[in-house]
Every structure is written in C-alpha cells, then in structure tokens.
Amino acid sequence: MRITNGEVIMAELQARLLNGETKTLNNDIIADLRGRVRGQIVLPDDSDYDEIRQIWNAMIDRRPALIVRCSGTADVIHAIQFARQYQLLTSIRGAGHNIAGKSLCEGAFLIDLSTMRSVQVDPVSRVAIVGPGATLGDVDHETQAYGLAVPVGINSTTGIAGLTLGGGFGWLSRTHGLTIDNLIAIEVVTAAGERLRCDTKNHADLFWASCGGGGNFGVVTSFEFRLHPVGPEVMAGPIIFPFEQARSVLHSYREFCANCPEELTVWAVIRNAPPLPFLSPEVHGTRVLILVALYTGAMDAGEKALAPLRKLGQPIADGFGPHPFVGFQQAFDPLLTPGARNYWKSHNFTELSDGLIDKLVEYGDNLPSSETEIFVAQMGGATNRVAPDTSAYPHRDVAFIMNVHARWEAVDQDDTCVTWAREFYEATKPLATGGVYVNFISEDEDRVQGAYGTNYNRLAKVKAKYDPDNFFRLNQNITPS
C-alpha cells in the first residue's frame, strides 16, 4: 500500500474484528483513516512495516493488519473512534517492551504511541509531564538536567507508559515509592473516544485503576509526575562474588537487608559474568553472584552504607563508587538489548527464606543459556508504607521480587530455556505470596487475579464503567463486571 498526494493504492487487507470475524479494509476505509489522523499509517507492504512492528521480545512475531503512529492526543481520539466504527480488534503500544508482547496481535489494528516522546520538566514545582511513547532514558535525560528524578525501572529503553500503568519499581523505589506513588495526574482517552483528565479529584476511580491496572481502562496520552532531588552523581555500582560463595553471601545479604537504610537499594543477580571493564578476562563468562547497589543520599553517607557489602564474602571485583545517575540507569542496557528471545517467570516474597536461597543456588548453578539471569529485587521502605487499596497495585507487603529471566538467541533453545524457567517457578511457588507484578507476566500465563488480589473486583467495576464492552482487551485483561 502507498499513500501519495492523497491517493491510496493498496491491496485489500483482512483485519480481525472484536466479534472474532474478519473484515476487508478497502481503499475507502484506509482513506477514511488517513483523513482523520496526522500520523503515519503503515501497512504490511510498506518498506518499513517489519521494522515498525517489531517489539523488544523476539519470541513475539505477529503482523498487525494496520498500524497508525499517532502524532498526538487528537490522533489517538480519532484512531479509537475509527476502530470503534469498524469494530476492529485493537492493540495499544507504547515503547513495545512488555515481555508478553500484548501490544502486537495478528491481524489487529495497532495504535502506536512510540513517537509521542515529549518530556517537559518544571524544575521549580518539580513536576514532569511525559508522553506515552517516552522511554525511561528520555525521562532521565530531561529530569537529570535539573538534578531531579522520578522513580522508574532499571532499563533505559523501557517505556514509561507500560512501566507506570503496571506500578513501576527500580533503584529509587525504597526511598521515594513506586512510579505510581509519584503520579499526580494522567490524560486518558477512553473506549468512547473521550479525553479525560484524571487525578485524585477528577475521575478518581479511573485514576486509581490506572495506578497499576495496566492498559485496561483507556489510552493514557500524558503522565504528570512528582520529581525528587537525585544526583546528578550517586554512590552506586556492582560488587561481584564467585558463584561458590553464593549461598553464604545470600544469607549475609538477607541479614544486611533487614537493617538496610531506605536510601540504599541492593539487588542480587545470578548470571554469567558480562565483559565488564573492571573484570579480568578470565572471569568473563563464568558463573557469578552480583550485588548491585545504589544510594540516593549524600555521597559520604553512601560510602558508609555500601561498605558492609564488601564484607559479605570475598569479592572478585568491586565497582562501588561515584557514578552519574543517568549512566547507572543505563548500565544494564547492553544485557537487555532488543532482538533476543525472552521468557520470564516471577514471584513475590515477604522474606528471603533458607529454602528460597537453596533454590536460587540450585537453579542458578544450571542456567540454560549464557544470557539467562535470575534477579532478586529488594523492595520495602517507602513502597510498603502505602495501604494495598490505595492504588490498583496491591503488593505492599513484599520484601523481594524475583524475576526468572531466561534469555537466548536460537529458536532451537526455546524448549530448554522455557522448561528451565517453568520448573524454577514451580520449585519456588510454595515459598511465594501468590502475587505477581503484572509487568512480569509472560504471554502464556493467566495470573491477572494474582496481580491484583483483593483489588480485582473493584477494578472490574471500574472497567465496566469506562470500558463495558472490553474494547481494550489485548492486555493482561480485567473482565468488566
């Protein structure tokens, strides 16, 4: 298909409908969409179609019938109205980083927000207004120009929209709360094509549901965040132990976390050692336990807070020191580049029990690929001082989140890596809370109830109010009650 000087030349396309049937999208229908939006329309025979449709997880390979790359809120409104008029099955994509790949659906209409990447910072009021296509790197770049930050995740290519709508946690969460705990307001386009501003006073039920409820309730076209003084330099870095010390170091790590200041966050990672510049070449590729830490306060206080971690074992490398916050936020990017095959399984824990440590060591000793890793994220602090019903995200008793991240390149490794992750998940399930962070649910899992717990019924009622026909269904779906 080509659109040249307003003239549409294309082959007829088959698109999936909400009722499960298919519909032919002829020239007149595509011309109708072209007349409504300013953004780019992309169809399967366009030269950039395959590039544009790709998402982070290479295991998800689907071909939408039609893509519209929205240039602003008006395009989103018109795209939703177009989809409703023709009853098209519709998916929404921010940065396309979600592990389950829900934004990509075979034969669907894809509303792509990835070009809406604006970040506006008011350093006086300490507020940032962010577009839905922005990445965490976009946000950090703008906010750190003023020594400010919002708590986000740990990979700079992650999209701010998906992260926030799922809850959002990272290096700053123990000090300043989840991403949603710092969300002031959102602009939402509903299934009816209506634009709403939502906060604690306006459409408060929709705002509550959007704070962790995923993309179930509408398309968020603007996020307004509260900012905190952070950086531009922080005391942070990794310390690396040989895997033979993993069990003893993890036991000591557990004791350390019990008395850890809230300004400090320490994650534990089991993986093969990456080729870090401060590691000797003979260590590269060997199995290691890495403790990664960041202190949000004064540098001298951070040095004192990090010092005990050096005594948890006999480290083979120590990367603790002053680092630019922006750089540290990008430190894991080389290990999480797009194009690899990824499969995740995740649990929440209220403690790092002896049994869990045993399983971490057992399965960590048998990683199925060179890129696979297990990480244990330390939570607590400010994230636990919020009532479970304050937002859709209910997991306010969690001390640790484990993500089993199988990652590999070749298709013939699929069964080995996925089986390993599932077996590890089942082995640790009796030790977990039963809850899960919604952004860590893989494509083949039905864990929406576990993601929302006692908040699920309330979410279903909000869904019924704002999306009674379940138009927004290509997500970790909450059924309207």
Rounded to a whole number of angstroms, the CA Rg of the chain reads 23
In the chain, the N- to C-terminal Cα span, in Å, equals: 41
| CB-CB contact of 67 with 42 (8 Å) | yes
Residues of the chain with CATH 3.30.43.10: 10-112
Dihedral sign of CA atoms 200, 204, 210, 213 in order: positive
Q: Quick check: 4 pLDDT over 70?
A: no
The pLDDT value recorded for residue 5 is 45
Average pLDDT over residues 17-42: 96
C-alpha to C-alpha distance for 209 and 214, rounded to whole angstroms = 8
Per-residue pLDDT, 278: 81
The residue type found at 397 is: D
Confidence of residue 275 (pLDDT cuts 50, 70, 90): confident
Architecture of domain 233-448: 3-Layer(aba) Sandwich (3.40)
pLDDT computed for residue 279 by the predictor = 85
The tens digit of pLDDT for each residue in 438-468 reads 999 999 899 999 999 999 999 999 999 999 9
The yes-or-no verdict on residue 222 having pLDDT over 50 is yes
Asked whether the bond before 324 is cis by omega within 30 degrees of 0, the reply is: no
pLDDT for the residue 481: 87
pLDDT digits 0-9 by tens, 358-388: 999 999 999 999 999 999 999 999 999 999 9
Does the pLDDT of residue 265 top 90, yes or no?
A: yes
Percentage of the residues of the chain whose pLDDT score is greater than 70: 98
What's the CATH architecture for 119-229+453-466? Answer: 2-Layer Sandwich (3.30)
Coil/strand/helix, residue 217: coil
Mean pLDDT of the chain: 95
Average pLDDT over residues 422-431: 98
Residue % of the chain over a pLDDT of 90? 94
- Residues 412-436: what's their mean pLDDT? 98
CA-CA distance, 442 to 422, in Å (whole number)? 11
Q: Does position 276 have pLDDT exceeding 90, yes or no?
A: no
Q: How confident is the model at residue 11 (pLDDT cuts 50, 70, 90)?
A: low
Which has the closest alpha carbon to 188: 76, 304, 316? 76
Average pLDDT of the segment spanning 27-38: 96
**Paired sense of beta strands 317-318 and 233-242, if any:** antiparallel
Give the residue range(s) of CATH 3.30.465.10 domains in the chain.
Answer: 119-229+453-466
CA distance 6 to 189: 28
What is the dihedral sign for C-alpha 432, 435, 441, 442? positive
What's the CATH number of domain 10-112, 3.30.43.10, 3.40.50.720, 3.40.1170.10, 3.20.20.70?
3.30.43.10
Answer whether residue 123 shows pLDDT above 90.
Answer: yes
pLDDT tens, residue by residue, 82-116: 999 999 999 999 999 999 999 999 999 999 999 99
Closest by CA position to 393, among listed 474, 462, 455: 455
Question: How many separate helices (H) and strands (E) can be counted in the chain?
Answer: 14, 23
Residue 262 pLDDT greater than 60, yes or no: yes
Distances (CA, A) of 214 to 20, 62, 102: 23, 21, 11
- Which pLDDT score is estimated for 165? 98
- Look-up: residue for tokens 């294309």? 10
Interval 161-216: pLDDT, tens: 999 999 999 999 999 999 999 999 999 999 999 999 999 999 999 999 999 999 99
**Which residue intervals of the chain bear CATH 3.40.462.20?**
233-448
pLDDT of residue 280: 84
Tell me which of 13 and 144 has the higher pLDDT. 144
**Per-residue confidence (pLDDT) for residue 313, from 0 to 100:** 95
Cα distances (Å, whole numbers) of residue 444 to 100, 102, 216, 230, 393: 8, 11, 18, 38, 21
* Minimum mean pLDDT range among 276-285, 354-363, 426-435, 443-452: 276-285
Distance of alpha carbon 393 from its chain centroid, rounded? Answer: 14
Confidence of residue 2 (pLDDT cuts 50, 70, 90): very low
